[in-house]
Structure 1
Amino acid sequence: MNFSSLVRQHWAALRALLVLTMIVGLAYPLLIWLIAQIPGLRANANGSIVEVDGRPVGSKLIGQSFADSDGNPLPEYFQSRPSAAGDGYDPMATSASNLGPESIVDTAGDPSLPEDDNGAKSSLLTLVCSRSAAVGALEGVDGSRPFCTGDGVGAVLSVIGPRDSRGNVVQPTRVVSVNQPCDTTKTPFLDTYEGVRVECAKYGEDYSVGQIVPIRGSAPADPVVPPDAVTASASGLDPNISIAYADLQVNRVAKARGVSADLIRQAVADHSDGRSLGIFGEPRVNVLELNLELDQKYPAKA
Structure 2
Amino acid sequence: MRLPAWLSQHLAALRALLVLTVLLGIAYPLAFVAIGRIPGLSGKADGSLVHAAGATVGSTLIGQSFTDADGTPDPRYFQSRPSAAGDGYDPTSTAASNLGPESVVDTADAPSLLTQVCARSVAVGKLEGVDGRRPFCTPDGVGAVLAVFRRDGLTGPVTRVVSVNETGRPFIQAYAGVTVEPASPGVDYVAAGGLVTPIRGDAPDEPVVPADAVTASGSGLDPDISVAYANLQAARVARERGVAVERVRELIAEHTEGRGLGFLGEPAVGVLGLNLALDGE
When the two structures are superposed, what TM-score results if normalisation uses the length of structure 2? 0.95
Among residues 226, 251, 261, which one is paired with 1:267 in the alignment?
251
Percent of aligned pairs with the same residue?
62
Alignment root-mean-square deviation, CA: 1.5
Give the whole-Å Cα distance in 2 for the aligned partners of 1:255 and 1:23.
59
Does the 8 Å CA contact 1:159/1:169 hold for their aligned counterparts?
Answer: no
Note the C-alpha offset of 1:4.
Answer: 4.9
Tell me the residue number matched to 1:113: none
Among residues 177, 191, 194, which one is paired with 1:210 in the alignment?
194
User: What whole-Å deviation, never above 9, does each CA across 1:14-69 have from its counterpart, x for those lacking one?
Assistant: 21111000011111112223333444433222210001122111000100010122
Indicate the larger mover: 43-52 or 74-83: 43-52
Aligned residues: 278
Name the SS for the 2:29 alignment partner: helix
Give the whole-Å Cα distance in 1 for the aligned partners of 2:245 and 2:154.
52
Map 1:105-116 onto structure 2 (within 5 A).
Answer: 105-108=105-108
**Counterpart code for 1:252:** R
Tell me the residue number matched to 2:175: 193
Among residues 249, 255, 258, which one is paired with 2:239 in the alignment?
255
**Counterpart code for 1:97:** S
Tell me the residue number matched to 1:48: 48
**Counterpart code for 1:204:** G
Give the whole-Å Cα distance in 1 for the aligned partners of 2:174 and 2:91.
46
Tell me the residue number matched to 1:222: 206
**Counterpart code for 1:269:** A
Tell me the residue number matched to 2:147: 158
When the two structures are superposed, what TM-score results if normalisation uses the length of structure 1? 0.88
Note the C-alpha offset of 1:7.
Answer: 3.9
**Counterpart code for 1:69:** A
Give the whole-Å Cα distance in 2 for the aligned partners of 1:37 and 1:145.
49
Note the C-alpha offset of 1:273.
Answer: 1.0
Does the 8 Å CA contact 1:160/1:169 hold for their aligned counterparts?
Answer: no
**Counterpart code for 1:174:** R
Map 1:143-154 onto structure 2 (within 5 A).
Answer: 143-154=132-143
Indicate the larger mover: 196-205 or 230-239: 196-205
**Counterpart code for 1:15:** R
Tell me the residue number matched to 2:19: 19
Tell me the residue number matched to 2:160: 174
Structure 1 unmatched runs, 5+: 109-119, 298-302
Indicate the larger mover: 38-47 or 126-135: 38-47
Q: 1:106 to 1:152 in 2, by over 3 A?
A: same
Give the whole-Å Cα distance in 2 for the aligned partners of 1:213 and 1:283.
36
Structure 2 unmatched runs, 5+: none
